[in-house]
Amino acid sequence: MLLLACCSARAQEKWKLVWADEFNYNGLPDSTKWTYENGFVRNQEPQYYTVDRLENCRVENGMLVIEARKEEYPNAAYQPGSANPAQQQPVAHYTSASITTHAKADWEYGRIEVRAKVPAGMGAWPAIWLLGTDRAYTKWPNCGEIDLMEYLGRDPQKVYGTVHYADSANKYQHEGKSPVVEPPANGFHTYALQWYPDRLEFYYDSLKYFVFDIAKANNKQDNPFRKKFYLLLNLALGHQGSWAGPFRDSDLPFKYFIDYVRIYKKAD
């Protein structure tokens, strides 16, 4: 009886669409909605994120395509002798793209829903994730991070939902789950986050597989998950020693397809 009541209550929830990209156009992603990360951005990953480049990020046939390729591409940030890993290589050997809604749109609470098809292959590392809008001055992990979906090509029957934050002692913490599912790379699936003032709910299609209690992230600076976040869509490559593991050149290019992105708020 309790289960039926819970299911009934969830079914009765009303959501209002407040932001979307259906990708029903051709060319570069809509610049009023998306911006780019640029260069070697994080984790010493081998891919160089390019900007406004159709080879790596384009809209065609009713969907967004993010493509990771093997090719030589100049590193605009190169500085000989730099101690910064992002500036050490004059030329990148792999390119990809990461687009975000930073400075374009952000949200606090609601339903974030993305229908996507991830690429198969060792070392493929596509993601749908969110970062706290105040990241520039709050810094990570205090700004909070919500990994709505990460997929590792080396682990083809799982998706990962993870939350990163600083606890009440200002120490880094993370929590998540990775359900075993039919291989996500075989087709399109709906990845969703339902974000309430007290919890985060993670969905793979209709499967709710992880619930995070937001109170765990209470700290001296407030709670990041009761503030606004912006969205990121990216396709990274793993490497030896990384979580995603190495990839094979022979498996490239990887293509990550996104059918739509929809953001909802609770209807009055």
Q: Which residues pair with 211 in a beta bridge?
A: 201
Residue of 145, 175, 182, 201 marked active site = 145
Give burial (CB, 10 Å; 0-12/13-18/19+) of 104. middle
Q: State how far the Cα of 72 lies from the Cα of 48, in Å rounded to an integer.
A: 10
| 130 close to 111: Cβ distance less than 8 angstroms | no
Pairwise CA distance, residues 247 & 122, whole Å: 5
Active site includes 55?
no
150 an active-site residue? yes
Q: Which two tokens stand for residue 55?
A: 């080879």
Indicate which residue of 113, 150, 182, 201 is catalytic.
150
CA dihedral 195, 266, 180, 172 (to 10 degrees): 0
Angular region, 144: left φ>0, alpha ψ -120 to 50, beta rest: left
Q: What is the SS3 assignment for 215?
A: helix
* Residues annotated catalytic, as ranges: 145, 150
